[in-house]
Amino acid sequence: MIHPNLTRLKQQADVAIEAFLQQWPRAAGDGLYEPVHYLMELGGKRLRAVLALSAAEAEGRPCEVAFPVALGVELFHNFTLMHDDIMDAAPLRRGKETVHMKWDENAAILSGDAMYTLAHIAFAKLPSNGLPAALQLFNRTALEVCLGQQSDMAFETRNDVTVAEYMEMIRLKTSVLVAASLALGAIAAGASEERVELWYALGEELGLAFQMQDDLLDAFGDTQVGKQIGGDILADKKTFLRLYTQEKGGDAARKVLTKWDGQRDDAPAKIEAVRKAMSAAGAAQAARELMHAHVAKAMASAEALELKGSHLEWFQFLGGMVTQRTS
């Protein structure tokens, strides 16, 4: 799916990121910045940066005013991925070996820490009038992401997780950063507090849908996803798909889930068996319905922002992209 704004703003983000990172060049055999460049050059969608730039433009300012926050949220996002891949024992990211596999866990921990610091260095480039509000939101968001990741891990070994707990977990680990990306772009553009809150509300709903699609792709996607398919199943992640199957799949489904819980030895068999139980329960369809309901809520916030013409159309496109993406 392409849209002129997507091509243009992603390109702007790519160029800004590359220029920023040149301040910390990779050196042969250097174990700190090499993994940073490696992961950043694998790219990804740059969604959070694009959202920050888009909000600034929708507030009537050139996207350049949001470069510091766009860099900050994208670096922070990539830092969370580097650590998340250790936590999830993930072998693949963006179609390539994860940092902890290519180097080792210590490298991924330290280079991740460096990226978190780089995010703060990027934020520090904001003009002083926007900086306190931006940092306050960014730091609150960073703590919330940690809380979400903590729940995500704790849920692996729990069998009584509710859908409400799942929604709160994904709000924290994923949505708040999507929301903050928009809100920070608006702050950088000098928007009123009221509008910043509306941007945040839009992003919070979009982020929930985004993570639901992430979970769908993890279970049912193909190689385009660039991650190990079935990784969530292997780790007994309490995704909506899993909770729905547990609840609505009947005794047969529950038996399958119990049989495989905690097992990692025969990954292909486990993934196939659990995926089959999920399909039989109709979990993917139910997840899609809930995901679309969250996009609809996001679009209601877009209306409250009274976005005009091409800006409204662009955010409608983004809403569609979140649910139709294949990577």
Catalog residues that contact ligand IPE under the rule CB under 6 A: 44-45, 47, 80-81, 84, 88, 90, 94, 145, 149, 173-174, 211, 214, 218, 227
Residue 45 site contact among ligand IPE, Mg ion, none (CB < 5 to 8 Å, cut-off depends on kind): ligand IPE
CB of 81 to ligand IPE, least distance (A): 5
Q: Which residue is nearest to ligand IPE (CB)?
A: 44
Burial (CB count <10 Å: 0-12, 13-18, 19+), residue 241: buried
Residue 57 site contact among Mg ion, ligand IPE, none (CB < 5 to 8 Å, cut-off depends on kind): none
The H or E element containing residue 68 is helix 67-87
CB of 45 to ligand IPE, least distance (A): 4
CB of 246 to ligand IPE, least distance (A): 19
- Rg from Cα positions in the chain: 20
Residue 3 site contact among Mg ion, ligand IPE, none (CB < 5 to 8 Å, cut-off depends on kind): none
The nearer residue to ligand IPE, 173 or 270, going by C-beta atoms, is: 173
CB of 194 to ligand IPE, least distance (A): 28
CB of 149 to ligand IPE, least distance (A): 5
CB of 125 to ligand IPE, least distance (A): 22
Q: Is 97 helix (H, G, I), strand (E, B) or coil?
A: strand
The DSSP line for 238-278 is --HHHHHHHHHSHHHHHHHHHHHTT--TTHHHHHHHHHHHH
The nearer residue to ligand IPE, 191 or 245, going by C-beta atoms, is: 245
Q: Please list, in sequence order, all residues whose beta carbon lies within 8 angstroms of the beta carbon of residue 261, skipping any fewer than 6 positions away.
A: 159, 236
- How far apart, in whole angstroms, are the C-alpha atoms of residue 169 and residue 122? 28
How many CA atoms does the CB half-sphere of 229 hold within 13 Å?
A: 16
- How far apart, in whole angstroms, are the C-alpha atoms of residue 178 and residue 164? 20
The nearer residue to Mg ion, 93 or 195, going by C-beta atoms, is: 93
Residue 236 contacts Mg ion per CB under 5 A: no
- How far apart, in whole angstroms, are the C-alpha atoms of residue 63 and residue 185? 9
Identified binder of Mg ion from the candidate list 34, 57, 59, 84, rule CB under 5 A: 84
Phi, psi at 29, each rounded to 5°: 75, 0
Name which of residues 145 to 184 contact Mg ion (CB under 5 A). none
Q: Which residue is nearest to Mg ion (CB)?
A: 88
Residue 44 site contact among Mg ion, ligand IPE, none (CB < 5 to 8 Å, cut-off depends on kind): ligand IPE
Phi, psi at 93, each rounded to 5°: -145, 125
- How far apart, in whole angstroms, are the C-alpha atoms of residue 51 and residue 189? 13
Taking Cα atoms as reference points, which of 76, 298, 55 lies closest to residue 182? Answer: 55
CB of 27 to ligand IPE, least distance (A): 25
The nearer residue to ligand IPE, 171 or 227, going by C-beta atoms, is: 227
The nearer residue to ligand IPE, 174 or 301, going by C-beta atoms, is: 174
Identified binder of Mg ion from the candidate list 218, 241, 253, 311, rule CB under 5 A: 218
- How far apart, in whole angstroms, are the C-alpha atoms of residue 214 and residue 323? 9
The nearer residue to ligand IPE, 59 or 141, going by C-beta atoms, is: 141
The H or E element containing residue 7 is helix 4-21
Binding region for Mg ion (CB under 5 A): 84, 88, 214, 218
